[in-house]
Amino acid sequence: MNNLQEQLIALGGVFQAAVLVDRIARTGQASEANIGCMLGSLLVVDPKDTLEVFGGDDLNLRDGYRALVGALERDPSSLKREPLRYALSMLGLERQLNKRGDLLDTIGNRLPQIQSQAEHFGLVHENVIASSGALYQDTLSTLRQRIQVHGDMRFLQQASNASKIRALLLAGIRAARLWRQLGGHRWQLVLSRRKLLNELYGMMRTAD
């Protein structure tokens, strides 16, 4: 795997989280496998490569790749506007978080507790989701920039869905952090659009 592919896997994780947030907000539904992949990515401490962060393959990042392709192609028919807005907001929030050592410490101190819960109950158990959502609320929700999630109020007002959305935003910001650590920059999305797309097309063909 080359560095650009590693970056695209991490960026695919950001967009995957964004797609899932949008899906839960609009329909109240998202697959356990997809949610589990994103929650699991929060708990991987020392991965040998980027794929390992997401469970060893990118099967649960497919929707994220498609949303990223739609954003890079700039085709109005395939552009997912809300997921794109959430993804760009997560990239912005990660940059703010990076300047806040106190919040990074809080996240670092509380993730082992969530890891213990996940080992005891399972990754997608309501307790694990609630703890991950609360961690987002206690840290990233305190920053000046907020992510406004739009959808169906019937679903957004359910506490379990609110926790899932916050937990997924936390996982998306973890993926954004990974992307930046791998050398990713926002200007790439504008200046290297064609290069990113060509690499993504190849990655999606390989996995289909």
CB 32 within 8 Å of CB 197:
no
Query: What pLDDT is attached to residue 207?
Result: 58
Query: What pLDDT is attached to residue 68?
Result: 96
State the DSSP string of 107-127. HHHHHHHHHHHHHHH-TT-HH
DSSP code of residue 2: -
Tokens linked to 170: 């936390």
How distant is the alpha carbon of residue 100 from its chain centre? 20
CB 174 within 8 Å of CB 17:
no
Per-residue pLDDT tens digits for 74-127? 888 888 899 999 999 999 999 999 999 999 999 999 999 999 999 999 999 999
Per-residue pLDDT tens digits for 92-105? 999 999 999 999 99
| Residue 75 to residues 8, 71, 72, 197, Cα–Cα distance (Å) | 20, 8, 8, 13
Tokens linked to 201: 């097309």
Evaluate if pTM is beyond 0.75. Answer: yes
DSSP code of residue 56: S
DSSP code of residue 184: -
Query: What pLDDT is attached to residue 206?
Result: 75
Spans of the chain below 50 pLDDT: none
Tell me the C-alpha distance between 190 and 156, whole Å: 33
